[in-house]
Amino acid sequence: MSLKPLTLWTLRGHAGTPNPWKVLMILEELKVPYELKLVDLADLKKEPYESLNPNGRVPTLEDPNTGITIWESGAILEYLVDTYDKQHTISFTAGSKEYYESKQWLHYQVSGQGPYFGQAAWFTVYHPEKVPSAVDRYVNEIRRVLGVLNRSLQDKVYLVGGKYSYADAAFVPWFEVAALFWSSEMDLEKSFPHVNSWLNRIKARPVIVKTIDDNLKARAAAAAAEGK
Ligand SMILES: N[C@@H](CCC(=O)N[C@@H](CS)C(=O)NCC(=O)O)C(=O)O
């Protein structure tokens, strides 16, 4: 069956933005055809984009094969594996223990890793005033999340069922972004060795190498365009 390309909405000029990047990795892994549509930061919270995504953020996915438009990166990942991973290459049989565990980790990524890493980035980079207590709070939360992952991974190669899944992939983009800002505080190899080996294992996968590389190139191009 030939598929029409799906449309993934992401931010113009903000290459490597973590939530759309998460979706890209899964589209690539499942070899689902897609095209990117870029929206400017200034146009996110107005029409016509708000009709696609009333939350005015990226990513949003449009699938012409099913007529479904969906936003929230975690829901998009679930949609993609339910619809396009019938062989369960990176997901698990509906109703199984692993099926629910993979959802558990995905929800932890979306509610635990994403917001804390996001707020740490906000108060480190974008907030107009320097607020050390806010930076401390969120960088400490990053360490706490890392501790949870490290303990959970101490006797495992992947988060669920002994195999690589979409739940592992979901954590990667924020780690890549975090490495740019807090590499000294995080020292994964020394302080969170199980997380470190797990990330290295995931980042050896060709699809992950490709999406990280594409993002680095796009980031460099965006910086060059801004004259940085
Ligand atoms: N919970 C949302 C978060 C989406 C999100 O925060 N996206 C960022 C980019 S990674 C964004 O659109 N930021 C622009 C803004 O906040 O206006 C998801 O997981 O999709």
Domain coordinates of the chain in residue numbers?
6-84, 97-223
Q: What is the pLDDT of residue 159?
A: 98
Residue 180 reports pLDDT greater than 90? no
Q: Which two tokens stand for residue 149?
A: 């992952």
Work out the pLDDT band at 183, boundaries 50, 70, 90.
confident
The atom of ligand 1 lying closest to the CA of 19 is 10
Q: What is the mean pLDDT of residues 86-91?
A: 98
6-84 in CATH: which number? 3.40.30.10
Distance CA 122, CA 117 (A): 9
Under a CB-based contact definition with an 8 Å cutoff, are residues 184 and 139 in contact? no
- Ligand 1 neighbour 121 (Cβ under 6 A): no
Ligand 1 geometric centre to CA of 71 (Å): 10
182 or 162: which leads in pLDDT:
162
Q: What is the mean pLDDT of residues 133-153?
A: 96
What rounded mean pLDDT belongs to the chain?
A: 93
- Ligand 1 neighbour 73 (Cβ under 6 A): yes
Residue 16 reports pLDDT greater than 90? no
48 preceded by cis ω (within 30°)?
A: yes
SS3 76: helix
Of 101-110, 172-181, 209-218, which one has max mean pLDDT? 101-110
Distance CA 135, CA 195 (A): 22
- Ligand 1 neighbour 17 (Cβ under 6 A): yes
Ligand 1 geometric centre to CA of 114 (Å): 9
The atom of ligand 1 lying closest to the CA of 57 is 12
Under a CB-based contact definition with an 8 Å cutoff, are residues 134 and 102 in contact? no
Work out the pLDDT band at 154, boundaries 50, 70, 90.
very high
The atom of ligand 1 lying closest to the CA of 44 is 17
Task: Count other C-beta atoms under 10 Å from residue 124's C-beta.
Answer: 16
Cross-strand pairs, 70: 61
Q: Which of 39, 44, 53, 57 to mutate to test the pocket of ligand 1 (most atoms within 8 A of CB)?
A: 57
Residue 228 reports pLDDT greater than 60? no
- The CATH number for 97-223, chosen from 1.20.1050.10, 1.10.357.10, 3.30.70.100, 1.10.1050.10, is 1.20.1050.10
Report the percentage of the chain scoring pLDDT > 70: 97
Q: Which two tokens stand for residue 141?
A: 């939360």
Residue 71 reports pLDDT greater than 70? yes
Domains 6-84 and 97-223 belong to one CATH topology: no
